Amino acid sequence: MLVSNDPHKKSWVEVAPGSDFPIQNLPFGIFSTDTRSKRVGVALGNQIIDLWELAQTGLLDNTGVAPDAYQNDFLNAFMQHGKGGTRQVRERLSELFTEGNTEIQDAGAVDKVLVAMADAEMHLPIRVGDYTDFYSSREHATNVGTMFRDPKNALMPNWLHIPVGYHGRASSIIPSGQAIHRPKGQQKPNDTDPPVFGPCKLLDFELEMAFFTYEGKPLGDSISTTEAEDYIFGMCLLNDWSARDIQKWEYVPLGPFLAKNFASSISPWIVTLDALEPFRCDTPEQDPKPLPYLEYEGQKSVDINLEVLLQPENGEEKRVGLSNYKYMYWNMNQQLAHHTVNGCDVKCGDLMGSGTISGPTPESYGSMLEITWKGTKPVTMHDGTERKFIQDKDTVIMRGWCDNGEGNRIGFGEVSTLVLPAK
Give me the active site residues, please: 140
CA distances from 314 to 283, 378, 385, 399 (A): 40, 20, 13, 20
C-alpha 198 chain-centroid distance: 30
Return d(Cα 233, Cα 218) in angstroms, integer.
Answer: 18
Q: 233 burial class (0-12, 13-18, 19+ CB within 10 angstroms)? A: buried
- Residue 15 in contact with residue 22, Cβ under 8 Å? yes
Return d(Cα 187, Cα 312) in angstroms, integer.
Answer: 26
- Residue 233 in contact with residue 79, Cβ under 8 Å? yes
CA distances from 34 to 31, 40, 115, 173, 297 (A): 11, 15, 11, 25, 48
What element of type H or E holds 333? helix 332-340
**Partners of 131 in the beta sheet?**
351
C-alpha 158 chain-centroid distance: 26
Angle at 191 between CA 185 and CA 192, to 5 degrees: 110
